[in-house]
Amino acid sequence: MNNIVIEDLIKKVKEYNPTEVEFVKKAYEYANDLHSGQVRQSGDPYITHPLNVAYILADMHADVDTVCAGLLHDTLEDTNITKEDIAHDFNQSIANLVNGVTKISKMNFSSKQDQNMANTRKIITSITEDVRIIIIKLADRLHNMRTLEFKSEFKQKENSLETMEIFVPLAYYIGAYRIKSELEDLSLRYLKPDMYKKIYEKKAKIEEDSKDCLQEMLFKIQTLLNDKTIPNEIKVRAKNIYGIYKRLNDGHKLSDIHDLLALKIMVDEVDNCYLTLGMIHKEYHPINDKFKDYICNPKTNMYRSLHTTVFGPEDRLVQTQIRTFEMDRIASFGLTAYWEEKKGQARYLMQEDLKAKFQFFKSLTEINSMFGDNQEFVSQVKIELFSDRIYVYTTKGDIIELPKGSTPIDFAYKLSTDIGNTMVGVFVNDEYVPIDYTLNNKDRVRIVTDDLSFGPREEWAEKAHTSYAKKLILEFNKK
Ligand code: MN
């Protein structure tokens, strides 16, 4: 849906918030007036852009302040209005949101490059202030990517690259999977058009070939669940093009990718997830090492589900994903699902949980306080947070997320400063290893500590990969 009109937006907002639509109408009239006469490169009136951004937000059931900020998001940058005007005519919260997504004026910088870096930093760090700013930025980027065909080829590539480097990781961290997948596919389409087309066609063929098999399974499982009166909904879920591209790039063959198509089974409660799992295993033979329990072991971005790959009809391998309706909303929308789950409390709970439950939040705050220079800050975030990740286990089975290249020193400091400072040795998968050992995905790490240790030696800073650990080691040695 690309030609959204105001009536569509109003209808969308009414679905979940019938009492505050007048406010949305007012924001639309206001933005429409301010942008009047401005035209997009596509030839459309400029207002179509904020309108679409607001619609993407309303589709996530965003609170009314956020939807209004979506409508007004380009007014500070592109019209004569001020933040104070918006605060006066609407409210302070909307004014802050719009200000948060507005670029810092170029008058403050000596070069375009400096301005870009400062703005990238502003976007990334706005998450510590109000995560809704990032969500509006993501909606803004999504609509710009959807309409990228009207830009020059250079701009298309430049924007796609920036999307992959900055916006996709941000969407990943807040768990906004829907937006992340679409941004990835749109970027790939412009960065590697031939590859995109090739995978697109192959995927369509596989979907066609497995349609009957999946429908048969879907129907059978649905019947079993209905017989037990378990409330359910089952959908066929396809991996996005970029997801397939990445696996092919890692050396996998298309025929090895078992989760290219999956059955997503949603039920009402956790107990019924396990009951469903049992029913599926009884009906279809499972592959033993393809079972994952992300309900008991959630991924670091809150994703929860049971995964099991089974032999379906005609011995086709089919991945099934079993979760509750609530888990599914979190899986698709991450923090943005709070708008639907937590209603009026959402805005505060988003920020609170981000601080308490998301490992990257702490790292980001840390990097932000350590690097004053914008360029250094951005490259550090790219290395430590936006690059490839590994997931390792503590002895208790908790999952710790680290950048690729991390060592047990990084792991120890990630657990706590005390553990890092008293570390004397380390076991990885029950074997004694040197402390600068490079950790791999799924390693089980046990740190040996001794309260009487002399503390980290200065050369450990060289052996650590993350700036967080390096900093703490150098701090300790200064004392
Ligand atoms: Mn915009």
Q: 23-58 pLDDT, tens per residue?
A: 999 999 999 999 999 999 889 999 999 999 999 999
pLDDT category, 82, cuts 50, 70, 90?
A: very high
d(CA 408, CA 427): 9
Q: Residue 310 burial by CB count (10 A; 0-12/13-18/19+): exposed, middle or buried?
A: buried
- Among candidate residues 22, 29, 77, 398, the one labeled active-site is 77
pLDDT at 252: 86
pLDDT at 1: 53
In angstroms, what is the span from residue 210 Cα to ligand 1's centroid? 40
In angstroms, what is the span from residue 346 Cα to ligand 1's centroid? 24
Residues 6+ apart with CB under 8 A from 11: none
Local structure of 442: helix, strand or coil = coil
Active site residue 78: yes
At the fourth CATH level, the homologous superfamily of domain 388-478 is Beta-grasp domain (3.10.20.30)
List every span in the chain annotated with CATH 3.30.460.10. Answer: 194-334
pLDDT at 362: 86
Q: Which value, to the nearest 10 degrees, does the dihedral of the CA atoms of residues 422, 426, 428, 429 take?
A: -100
pLDDT category, 19, cuts 50, 70, 90?
A: very high
pLDDT at 427: 96
In angstroms, what is the span from residue 73 Cα to ligand 1's centroid? 6
Strand order in the sheet with 431-433: 431-433, 423-428, 445-449
Local structure of 252: helix, strand or coil = coil
Q: What is the pLDDT of residues 428-479, one digit of tens each?
A: 999 999 999 999 998 999 999 999 888 899 999 999 998 889 989 999 998 7
Taken in order 382, 240, 146, 204, the sign of the CA dihedral is positive
Percent of the chain exceeding pLDDT 90 equals 71
Instruction: Compute φ and ψ for 317, nearest 5 degrees.
Output: -80, 125
- Output the six-digit token pair for 175: 């768990």
pLDDT at 60: 92
- Output the six-digit token pair for 125: 């760090």
Rounded to the nearest angstrom, the gap between the alpha carbon of residue 37 and the centroid of all alpha carbons in its chain is 36
pLDDT at 147: 95
In angstroms, what is the span from residue 40 Cα to ligand 1's centroid? 11
pLDDT category, 2, cuts 50, 70, 90?
A: low
Mean pLDDT throughout 103-113? 85
In angstroms, what is the span from residue 49 Cα to ligand 1's centroid? 7
Taken in order 20, 22, 28, 34, the sign of the CA dihedral is negative
Q: What is the pLDDT of residues 219-270, one digit of tens each?
A: 999 999 999 999 999 999 888 999 999 989 888 888 777 778 899 999 999 9
In angstroms, what is the span from residue 83 Cα to ligand 1's centroid? 16
- Output the six-digit token pair for 81: 């209005």
In angstroms, what is the span from residue 57 Cα to ligand 1's centroid? 13
In angstroms, what is the span from residue 120 Cα to ligand 1's centroid? 15
| CB neighbours of residue 313 within 10 Å | 15
Residue 297, pLDDT > 70, answer yes
Architecture of domain 194-334: 2-Layer Sandwich (3.30)
pLDDT at 110: 86
pLDDT at 360: 86
Question: Which DSSP helix (H) or strand (E) runs through 234?
Answer: strand 232-238
pLDDT at 471: 87
- Output the six-digit token pair for 393: 């286990």
d(CA 192, CA 181): 16
List every span in the chain annotated with CATH 3.10.20.30. Answer: 388-478
pLDDT at 323: 97
CB 441 within 8 A of CB 414: no
Q: What is the DSSP string of 155-191?
A: HHHHHHHHIIIIIHHHHHHTT-HHHHHHHHHHHHHHH
Residue bearing the bigger pLDDT, 455 or 343: 455
Architecture of domain 6-191: Orthogonal Bundle (1.10)
CB 423 within 8 A of CB 447: yes
Rounded to the nearest angstrom, the gap between the alpha carbon of residue 182 and the centroid of all alpha carbons in its chain is 11
d(CA 179, CA 138): 8
pLDDT at 341: 82
pLDDT at 93: 96
In angstroms, what is the span from residue 103 Cα to ligand 1's centroid? 10
Q: What is the pLDDT of residues 53-75, one digit of tens each?
A: 999 999 999 999 999 999 999 99
pLDDT at 359: 80
List every span in the chain annotated with CATH 1.10.3210.10. Answer: 6-191
Residues 6+ apart with CB under 8 A from 372: none
| Residues paired with residue 306 on neighbouring β-strands, in sequence order | 293, 322
- In one-letter notation, the amino acid at residue 422 is T
Residue 151, pLDDT > 60, answer yes
- Output the six-digit token pair for 311: 């032999």
In angstroms, what is the span from residue 78 Cα to ligand 1's centroid? 10
CB 431 within 8 A of CB 462: no
Residue 103, pLDDT > 70, answer yes
Active site residue 7: no
Cα-based angle 103, 107, 112 (whole degrees, multiple of 5):
70
- Among candidate residues 44, 78, 85, 114, the one labeled active-site is 78
In angstroms, what is the span from residue 140 Cα to ligand 1's centroid? 5
d(CA 86, CA 258): 51
pLDDT at 108: 79
pLDDT at 10: 97
Instruction: Compute φ and ψ for 235, nearest 5 degrees.
Output: -135, 155
CB 321 within 8 A of CB 266: no
Residues 6+ apart with CB under 8 A from 479: none
3-state DSSP helix/strand/coil percent for the chain, to nearest 5? 60, 10, 25
CB 221 within 8 A of CB 234: yes
Distances in Å between the Cα of 214 and the Cα atoms of 126, 273, 306 are 43, 20, 18
In angstroms, what is the span from residue 340 Cα to ligand 1's centroid? 25
pTM of the model: 0.87
CB 88 within 8 A of CB 72: no
Average pLDDT score, the chain = 92
- For the chain, report the end-to-end CA distance as a whole number of angstroms: 61
